[in-house]
Amino acid sequence: MKKRNFVIPIQLLVVFTLIFFISGYRFTALSAAKSNDFLSKDAKLIEQYDTDSSVIFLFKSDEAEMYQTVLSEKSGVLFRSSASTNIPYSSDKIQTVGGISITTGNDAATLLSVISYDEEVAYIEAGIEPIVERKEIQNGERISFLYPFSEQIDFLYPTAFNKDGKKLYYYGYPKDTTVSNSEDLKWHKIEGQ
Burial of 61 per CB tally in 10 Å (0-12, 13-18, 19+)? middle
Query: Model confidence at 54, in pLDDT bands (50, 70, 90)?
Result: very high
Q: Which residue has the higher pLDDT, 3 or 1?
A: 3
pTM of the entire structure? 0.85
DSSP conformation class of 27 = S
Single-letter amino acid code for the residue at 121? V
115 φ, ψ (degrees, to nearest 5)? -120, 135
Q: Give the pLDDT confidence of 136-191 residue by residue, as tens digits.
A: 999 999 999 999 999 999 999 999 999 999 999 999 988 877 777 778 899 999 98
pLDDT digits (tens, 9 = 90+) for 129-138: 999 999 999 9
Q: What is the pLDDT of residue 1?
A: 45
